[in-house]
Structures are given as structure tokens and as C-alpha cells.
Amino acid sequence: MTIAEKILATHCGKTRVSPGELINVRVDLVLSNDITAPIAIKEFNRIGVKKVFDPNKVVMVPDHFIPNKDIASAEQAKMMRDFALSQGIIYFEVGEMGIEHVILPEKGLVLPGDVVIGADSHTCTYGAVNAFATGMGSTDIATAMATGEIWMKVPPTIKFVYHGQLQKWVGGKDLILHTIGNIGVDGALYAAMQFEGEAIDSLPIDGRLSMANMAIEAGGKAGLFRADQTTLDYIKPRATRSYTVVDPDPDAEYAQTIEYDASKIEPQVAFPHLPSNTRPINQVGNVEIDQAVIGSCTNGRLSDLIVAAEILKGRKVAKNKRCIIIPGSQEIYLQALKMGLLETFINAGAVVSTPTCGPCLGGYMGILADGERCISTTNRNFVGRMGHTKSEVYLASPAIAAASAVLGRICGPEEL
């Protein structure tokens, strides 16, 4: 069996499962946020049960419109907060919170071999630490909070193998953008994407989190990595419970195997209005921008901020352009502060925000007007995603976003 199949088999009490099979699955963690939790809470109350199945396995994180941007978002946050406190579940408040898909691995809540579901499509992020993680609708989440189980169809697995070593400035974001550009936004529809190869072996955990995060942008059900020494070095200081590393069997059957020469992959930019509309940086041309955003559950981790600071240090954001930097968690914010990164950003003329999803979903902290363009380290660039339906979002790595903020047009750091 593949990694996905072995994890699912363990969680449904079977020795073996196969793609297409319908199964009931026990879950290790159920997640929702300030947009999706209120719907799940209403459905949970309709079921008629009084308590969640296990308060230590239900997590709620306010991150999309938090700190509250208006009365409507304040009401949603209050509903979630009241429910969380009454149930005694795991809950993070402003000042200790962060973007959900950043803080759950950071706090050791997601571990190898887990099944994690969340009322957020980017729950697939946790595959980077060898977990089967996927997004579901709020009604599914309500049922899982009540019963501790979900039903699902076992997905087929597509194996992606990245040979060779990465060029300078190329990271996980570039690998996944290149992959989505190659197979399309439905190229892995309802499949588990299993990432392997020499380039993956040398990829830091932050880069793996970026790749798993965007599995959904290829239509994937989940994105999974083996748990190697890099994974264990990240997990061991954080884990507060036991876990089981899951490797694929040598004779595992894959729906497809797709191979890349990673040494030939350049920094990537996804043009509007699809993550699959990718081009290497040398084919971008002259694209003026109005705003650069560095952050989100895709690229708001410490290593992302370090890269951005390396490029922005001693330089200035281009005149009349905006650069917004959003650390993914309070811990990352504090580390960036201690390292002097925030001073570098402010001296460069950038804005530094408290952790929030904010502009990624057109929430706040960087909404685009008619005709404006943004280079962003976020994960989606659909029509109207970050504001006006006639605005444009270009997806890229922190290195490209930071360099573009300096020149006021999309470019790679090599130009600087």
C-alpha cells in the first residue's frame, strides 16, 4: 500500500484498503476556523449531542478575519469562542494564535500517521509531516466533532519524483507551482499526491509544508511526504503524544508516476487567474505591481521571512508600492523580532502585520482595487480572490515577492 492507504487502513480497522473503497475512518484531529466553525457549530447543535467526542482532538483557530475586522467577523469569532470554551476543546485566542496551518504543526498537534480533517481546503498542509490530512465541508466537521469519525472514498495515489538538486532561490513553492503548471488544477483530482526524490530529501520542512499546502490547487485530496530525519528533527521537540511513522510499501501500486528533473526548474510565477498558469521567472516579461504580500499558510514561516529579509536588507520598497509582511504565528513573529527581521522590513518601507490570513482570501490587510496587481506568496489567484474582480494576483515565492517589491515589477532576486 501507499502512505495514504496504510494510514487509512490503520484508522478504519482493516489490514488493507484499495482506491475507490468507501470506509469509515477514525480521526485524530478535527479543525475549523472563524469562517467555517460557526456553520459546523450550528449543525453540531442540530445533531442533538451535548459534548464533542474528545475535547483533546477538536481544535478551533480564529485566523481569517482576526483580529476582528468588523461586526460580522466579531460575531462569528464570538460564536466560535463561546462554543470552544463551553466544550473545553483546544482553542487559540488573539495574542497566542496564528494561521491554523502554521500553528498546528508548530505546536505538535499534528504528527506522523495521523488522520486530520479540517473545514478548510488547505488542511492538506499536514501531509508534510507524514499525516493524511484533508479538507471537508462544515457539516462533515460537525459530524466528526460528534462521533470522531468520517466516511470517505479511498483515493488513488500519484507519485511525484523530483530528481537532482535545486537551483539557488528555488524552493518548495516553486516545485509545487511547476507541478501544478504541468498537470493542471485538476491533474490530481481526488488523488493523494506522494512527493519523493533527491530534491525532496534535501528540502527543509518549511518547503515541504508549502508543497503539501497546495496539493489542493492540483485537485488533490492530500499531499504526503515520507517521515525522514528532517521530519523527525522537526517533530520530536514538539510531540506530546506517541506517533507512528508510515512508509509506502516497496510494491505499492500507484495510479501514475510523474518524474521531474528538479535541477532544471527555475523560480516560478503563476499568472492570473489560475495557479496552473505558471511561467519561469525568465519568461515573465515586464509586469508592474502595486503590492507585494509575503505570508499566509503557504509561506508565512520563519525561513520565508529570512529569505525576504535577506533581499530587503539595505534596500527600499519601490516608491508608491506596498509591501505587506505577515508572520504565520506569534512564535514566528517573536523569532523574527529577536533576529532583527522586523527592523529590516520596517526600514525597507514594508508593513508588518500580526498573524492573520488577511489578504489571502480578500479578508482584509491588503484588499486590491480595480486594476491593481499583487505579487503574493499565497496559494490562490482566482478572479476577485484578493479584492476587486478586475484586480490581478500573481503567485510566487518569498524571494520573488521581496525582489519584486524593491523593483516595483515582477522579478527574481538575481536582478538585484
Q: Are strands 157-163 and 256-261 parallel, antiparallel or unpaired?
A: parallel
Q: Which residues share a beta bridge with 342?
A: none
Q: Are 304 and 401 in contact (CB under 8 A)?
A: no
Q: Which position has the grid cell 511525484?
A: 160
In the sheet with 291-294, reading across from the earlier edge strand, the strands are: 278-280, 268-270, 392-395, 373-376, 291-294, 322-325, 351-352
Strands (E), 299-409: 322-325, 351-352, 373-376, 392-395
Q: Which residues contact 223 (CB under 8 A, 6 or more apart)?
A: 124, 125, 127, 128, 192, 193, 195, 211, 212, 213, 214, 215
User: Is 410:284 a contact under the CB 8 Å cutoff?
Assistant: yes
Q: Which helix (H) or strand (E) holds 23?
A: strand 22-26
In degrees, to the nearest 5, what angle opens at C-alpha 389 toward C-alphas 297 and 377?
A: 25
The structural domains of the chain, ordered by start, are 3-260 (3.30.499.10), 269-415 (3.30.499.10)
What is 366-394 written as a DSSP string? SPBPTT-EEEESSS---TTTTB-TT-EEE
Would you give per-residue pLDDT tens digits along the chain (416 residues)?
A: 999 999 999 999 999 999 999 999 999 999 999 999 999 999 999 998 999 999 999 999 999 998 999 999 999 999 999 999 999 999 999 888 899 999 999 999 999 999 999 999 999 999 999 999 999 999 999 999 999 999 999 999 999 999 999 999 999 999 999 999 999 999 999 999 999 999 999 999 999 999 999 999 999 999 999 999 999 999 999 998 999 999 999 999 999 999 999 999 999 999 999 999 999 999 999 999 999 999 999 999 999 999 999 999 999 999 999 999 999 999 999 999 999 999 999 999 999 999 999 898 888 899 999 999 999 999 999 999 989 999 999 999 999 999 999 999 999 999 99
**Total Cβ atoms within 10 A of residue 70:** 9
> Which tens digits make up the pLDDT trace of 246-286?
999 999 999 999 999 999 999 999 999 999 999 999 999 99
- Which residues sit opposite 395 in a β-bridge? 270, 376
What region, left, alpha or beta, does residue 236 occupy, with left being phi > 0 and alpha being psi -120 to 50 degrees?
alpha
pLDDT in tens, 372-384: 999 999 999 999 9
> Which candidate, 315, 305, 296, 249, places its Cα nearest to that of 1?
249
pLDDT at 360: 86
Q: Which of 325, 291, 290 is nearest to 309 (CA)?
A: 325
DSSP, res 327: -
Half-sphere exposure of 137 (CA within 13 A, CB side): 5
Q: Give yes or no for a contact between 395 and 379, defined as CB atoms under 8 angstroms apart.
A: yes
Q: Return the amino acid letter for 255.
A: A
Angstrom distance (rounded) from CA 328 to CA 77: 19
